[in-house]
Structure 1
Amino acid sequence: MDLTYSAADEAFRAEVRAFLDDALSGEFGELRGLGGPGREHEAHDERVAWDRHLAALGWTCIGWPAEYGGRGLSLIQQAIFHEEYARADAPGRANHLGEELLGPTLIAFGSDAQKARFLPGIRNVTELWCQGYSEPGAGSDLANVATRARREGDDWVIDGQKVWTSLAHLSDWCFVIARTEPDSQRHRGLSFLLVPMDQPGIEVRPIEQLTGGSEFNEVFFTGARTDADLVVGEPGDGWRVAMGLLGLERGVSTLGQQLGFAREHDGVIELARQTGAYDDPVLHDRLAQAKVGLEVMRANALRTLSGDPSPGAGSIAKLVWSNWHRQLGELAMDVAGRAALTVGAPYQPDRWQRLYLFSRADTLYGGSNEVQLNILAERVLGLPPEPKGDQR
C-alpha cells in the first residue's frame, strides 16, 4: 500500500488549503471550531450560511459525479479535502446526512425523478435532512424496526416512533425505515421512505443531553404522510438500501474525523503540561499509546480506501475509532484531575468534560460494540449466530 501523494494530489491540497485560509479569514472566520458532534447547537444558522457559501463555489458534494452537480473527485482528492478541512478547524457541516449519506444513496438506488427532485437541494444546502433509523426497541438492530407504513391511495401513511434522531428539529426532510409488509419479520418487508418533516402528523421532542445540548430528538409519526413515489428502491427492499447507506458512513470523511481526533489529542497533551500530568509516567504512556492508535487508524482508513475493503472492514473501523475516542475522553478527565469533577453554575461543561460525556455514546450510535462484534463473529469468522428470542 502506497501512502504517498502524487504531485497532482499535493497541488490539489495546496488549492484546498488556500481556499479555506481565504474563506475563513473574512465573515466566516469566527466559525472556526464550532459545531460538530456534541456541539451541533453552536451557530447553526451561521454554519448553514457557510455551507451555502461552499456550495456556491463548488465545494459541496465534491465526490458526486458531475452529472449530479458534483465535481467527480477521486477518493484520494476527497480524502485530502476532508483532511484540510479538519486541519483548518473549519466549522462542522450542517447537512452531513444529506451530502455524505442520502445523496450518494439516491445516486445509487433512487429513481431519476427522485434524483432530479432532491439532489439539487442537498448540493445547494436548501433542504436539510435527518435519519429515521433508531427506535426505542430497535437501536443498532434495524431489523427490529416497528414503525409501519401503509398505502392509502397516492400516499404512504406512517405510524411509529424514532429516537436519537440528530437535528430532526432543524430538518426539512427525513429518510425513514418503516415496515410496509404487515406480516413481515426482521429485515424482510422494510421500505426506505423520504418524508417531509413539516406536517401535522409529525411531532419532534428534543432530548436534553448531559453535554448541555439537545441535538438528538424523539420523533413521533401519527398518520404522517408522504407521496407513494417517495420510496427509494422497491417497496420491501429497504434493508438493502439502508445497508448501502450505512456503508457510506465509513467513507473518506473518516480521515477528516481522525484529524479532528488528532487536534483533541494535542489539546489533551497541552492540558497535561499545564496540570503537571505530563510528568506522570503512567499518564505519559497513555498519551503515547493514544498517539500510536491515531496512526493505526489513519493507516487502516487509507488501506481500506485504496482497494476493495475486506469483509468486516467497516465494523473493525467502527470498533477502533469509537473505542479510541471514548478512551481519549477518559484520559482527558484523568489528566485534568480533580477539576474535572465539578461544573459551575449555570451548568456548562468545559471542553474536556463535554468530550468525556459525548464520547461515551461513540460505542453505541452507528452500531454498538456488541453489534459490530456479532457481525464479525457471524459474517466473517463463520461462528454460530447469537441465540434469538426466548430460548426456554
Structure 2
Amino acid sequence: MLLKFRVETRKIKQPRIVVLRLSQDETGKPLERSLGSFNSKRSYQHIIEQLTEAERYEFDNYVATLAFSKTLFNTEADKVDRFIIKAAPDFKEALFAIWEEAKQWGITFTPEHEMLIGLLEKAKAVEQELSILTQGHFSALQKYGINIHQPAQDKENSTESEILFVTALKTARTGDRLAELFNEIASQKYGKSPKFKPHHFDFFINAKGKSTPPSFPKWYYTVAIDVLLELGIAPETLIPPELITIHWLRLNKQADILKTAALFDSVFPALRHNTRCHRLITREHMNSDIERMAKGKKYLSPAKAFEKWLEESIALKSSPRLETVISTFNRAFPALADNPFFMKLIASNLEKDSRTQGEES
C-alpha cells in the first residue's frame, strides 16, 4: 500500500479526505506525508499531479469505490465500510498492468469498481429470483431504491444475435449454401419446414444502414447456432454465452434438467463450467415446472401454482403425510426438488390443514 486515505468529518461541511503518501525513514520508521485533501465539492487534480503511476492506481480505485457508494446508496466517505478481497499477487499485478495499458488507450478500467459492479449485477439477478419465489416478500437491494429488474433488451439482443447470421453467411460464402445448411438442420434436427431461401439472408448481406431487421421466428437463431457449429465456428465466441444459452434452449430443452445440462455441455464444452449459462438452464426448467404445476396457466405466482397443484392432487388428500407430499412433489417437479421455498410451502400447508382438522374435531 502506497497511499493512506484519512477521512475527516466536520459538523456542517462535507467529509474531507486527506491523502497521505506512505514511506519509511532510514531506520524503517513509517512516515506519512500529506499530498492534500479533497471532498465531493473540491477537485483532486492537485493531488493527481503529485502521484506516481502506482499511486494513481490506488487513488483511482479508492475514488471509484466512493463514487459507487455515493451514487447507489447515498453513503458519504466517512460512512463507507472496508470491504477487503484477498487475491493472488499475480492476479493483482495483471490487473495493474491492464489498468496501466488501458489508460494509455483511453479505456476506463478500475478493477475495484468493476468488482463492485459485477457483484451488484449478480446480487440483482439472485434477488430477482428470490423475489419471484417469495412473491415479492424478500427485498434487500430494492429497499434501498435499487431497481433489480433489467430493462427490456429484446431489440438489443436481436441486433447482437444478428452476428450469428452475418458470420454464418461469411463462412458459408453464398446464400445458396447457407440456405441449404439451414434447411437441412431445421428439418432433420428440429422437424421444421425447410423453407429457407437465399434471398432471406439479403438483409444480413446489406445490413449496413438498415435499422429494422426482417421479422422471423426466434428459433431461427437456434438454427444459426447449429449452422455455425457445423461450419466449425464456436458461436459463444461471437455473442455472450448467456444469449447463446437462451437461443439454444428454445429447441433443445430435454425432459429433465440433468439431460438438458448434459446435452448443453456436450454441444458447448467451453461453457461446461459457466455458472450463468447453467443458471439459465435451471431457471428455464423451474419455470416449466411451475407452469405445469399451474396446469398450464401462465403468470400464476409460484405460491398460487403450488396451491392449485395441491388442491388437485387427490392422492395427497387421502395421505397428507409430509414425507409423502414431498416425495410426490419432487417426482412431479424435478427442477424444484427440495427447493427451500416449496418445502416451506408444503410444511406450512400441511400444518394449516392439521390445525383446521383439530379445530373441527
Q: TM-score by structure 1 length?
A: 0.27
Look at both structures and tell me which one has the larger radius of gyration over its CA atoms: 2
Q: TM-score by structure 2 length?
A: 0.28
Which is richer in strand?
1
User: Could you say which structure has the greater relative contact order, defined with CA pairs below 8 angstroms and 6 or more residues apart?
Assistant: 1
Which is richer in helix?
2
